[in-house]
Amino acid sequence: MTARPEPVTVRVPATSANLGPGFDSLGLALALYDDVTVALDPTFTGVALDVTGEGAEVADRGEQHLIVKVLRQALAELDAVAPQPLGDVPGIRLTCVNRIPHSRGLGSSSAAIVAGILAARALHPHGALLDDAFALRLATEIEGHPDNVAPCLAGGLTIAWTTSGGPRLVRLEPKDAQVVVFVPDTRLATERARGLLPATVPHADAAANAGRAALLVAALTGGLDDAVLLDATEDRLHQDYRAPAMPESADLVAALREEGVPAVISGAGPTVLAFTTASRLDSIDARTGKGWHVRPLDVAPRGASVRPGTTGAGA
């Protein structure tokens, strides 16, 4: 059995996890995309890798590049259940046009993982055996938690959780949601941010977050109200503990919230996400300070998508 001869391109959205109180459960897909083109080529051995934009500095990683590692793992998973395995794939041609900032809390690693899995599904002759539930399970296994991979796969607003049978997600439609992200030049590794979290938290803080997370889902799906959203985005489980690793981000969140803007740390940070519009922020520009790349973004209504062929940097 041979692989699909022509390349495929996977478009994957950025994501923001947690959204304040929804630690490791809530996620939002954002209309900022990476385009990943993959071809399996038996005429050479190894990896031919071309990266444009974010992450260009890791273009020489070859087999250690995250997308390549995930692609090979997903192909092996498919071979394990396929009636006719694909077998060894000596050559991979990979072109990445990256727009999602790396190590900023906008889901770049989840986007890479999802891209690798969906490319494998599209290129393997028995790719249909890897359904959406299988893709979510494998992506969560690789990433370690489902909060970013869920919206990357499904789009919109997602609630993700893990059962004894594996991860699950529910996709919801946020109503009139617009966000502005504040992206700093500095990076922060997710592992470092997670290392700052305590093993236990006060019962009162856990109870408060449970209520706020429920309120946030209601506010985002029922229509945006700044007063309710400000309450709904209050967090006691992770942001204060992580603040020493990103003091500028913590200060910006506090400044925006003082102005009545529902602002949170995006994922593990250091990007700040505000549920607002760019026009509203113009009136409080002095409070946001300098050194941020400010970008309004829509919520991505669709998750990752696959199409045949290649894409260019202008896509």
Give the pLDDT score at 188: 81
Please give the structure tokens belonging to residue 150: 């869920």
Question: Which residue did the predictor score with more confidence, 90 or 108?
Answer: 108
Does position 284 have pLDDT exceeding 70, yes or no? no
Does position 3 have pLDDT exceeding 60, yes or no? no
Q: Detail the residues annotated as belonging to a binding site.
A: 101-111
Give the pLDDT score at 232: 96
Does position 45 have pLDDT exceeding 90, yes or no? no
Helix (H, G, I), strand (E, B) or coil at 200: coil
Measured distance CA(212)–CA(230) in Å, rounded: 10
Q: What is the pLDDT of residues 213-257, one digit of tens each?
A: 999 999 999 977 788 999 999 999 999 999 999 999 999 999 999
Report angle CA 57, 62, 63 to the nearest 5 degrees.
135
% the chain with pLDDT above 90: 73
Give the pLDDT mean for 189-207: 87
Q: Detail the residues annotated as belonging to a binding site for ATP.
A: 101-111
Give the pLDDT score at 56: 79
* Burial of residue 141, with CB atoms counted within 10 A of its CB: 0-12 exposed, 13-18 middle, 19 or more buried: middle
Which domains occur in the chain, in start order? 8-172+303-308 (3.30.230.10), 178-298 (3.30.70.890)
Does position 314 have pLDDT exceeding 50, yes or no? no
Dihedral of alpha carbons 217, 222, 226, 228, sign = negative
Does position 311 have pLDDT exceeding 60, yes or no? no
- The answer to whether 261 and 233 have CB atoms below 8 angstroms apart is no
Q: What is the mean pLDDT of the chain?
A: 90
Give the pLDDT score at 88: 81
Give the pLDDT score at 241: 94
Query: DSSP strand E in the chain: where?
Result: 8-18, 22-40, 46-53, 91-98, 157-163, 166-172, 178-184, 263-265, 272-274, 292-298, 305-308
Give the pLDDT score at 287: 58
Whole-structure pTM value: 0.92
Does position 6 have pLDDT exceeding 80, yes or no? yes
Does position 1 have pLDDT exceeding 60, yes or no? no
Cα separations (Å) of 26 from 18, 34, 138, 182?
Answer: 5, 21, 19, 20
pLDDT bucket at 312, cuts 50 / 70 / 90: very low
